[in-house]
Amino acid sequence: MDSPDSSVTVYTDGACRGNPGPGGWAWAVPGGPYASGADPATTNQRMEIRAALEALRYWRTQPVSSILVVSDSTYVVNCFKDRWWQGWQRRNWLNSQKKPVANRDLWEPLIELALEPGPAAPVSWRWVKGHSGDRWNDRVDELATAAADRGRGERSVEVEGVVGDGDGGGLRDRGGDAGTSGGQHEGRLFD
């Protein structure tokens, strides 16, 4: 993953204990780095979006030629595959029912990163069925669920821009830090 002609596949997942309730997000690259975080008051959809957002925040700073995001969230994947974001922007962030798009505070930076123009690595999206035995989908589910349960995440890499686990993810304050300070853990996902 160190050369500019390399591609990366990153798995993402979100979890919530109650909906709303304490939640967690996670991303992981098979055999490579990973990160997770928590939010004390959130929804599952917010954590799914947050997982993809945090993955792109990290991978947009790395020398890769393309990024494939694999998620079990049709909400996240279909936003890009079916170009929902175009309609949202055209309608000034109203959905097809003329109501404000939920989770706009997370969608806007995710869409910006995913569609970054110029020499940035292209981002593609793939859906995977959750809890279907996919090793890496299961692993990010474990990381996200553990973060929700512990109220903090873990990382195998230093993730710039992630001050606390709950930055921008909470229900109480959708624009700021509604979470707890994140823990750090150096390690490997699987031996």
pLDDT digits (tens, 9 = 90+) for 5-16: 589 999 999 999
Which pTM does this prediction carry? Answer: 0.82
Q: What is the pLDDT of residue 161?
A: 52
Helix (H, G, I), strand (E, B) or coil at 26: strand
Residues with a catalytic annotation lie at 13-14, 48, 72, 131, 141
Name, in order, each residue with C-beta under 8 angstroms of 44's C-beta and a sequence gap of 6 or more: 14, 15, 16, 19, 23
| Owner of token pair 């939010």 | 39
What gap in Å lies between CA 5 and CA 95, rounded to an integer?
38
Helix (H, G, I), strand (E, B) or coil at 67: strand
Q: Regarding beta strands 66-71 and 34-42, do their DSSP bridges make them parallel or antiparallel, or are they unpaired?
A: unpaired
| Owner of token pair 């008051």 | 41
All domains of the chain in start order, with CATH: 7-150 (3.30.420.10)
Q: What is the pLDDT of residue 182?
A: 33
Residue ranges for the chain with pLDDT beneath 70: 1-5, 159-191
Q: What is the pLDDT of residue 169?
A: 42
CA distances from 166 to 31, 55, 161 (A): 26, 15, 12
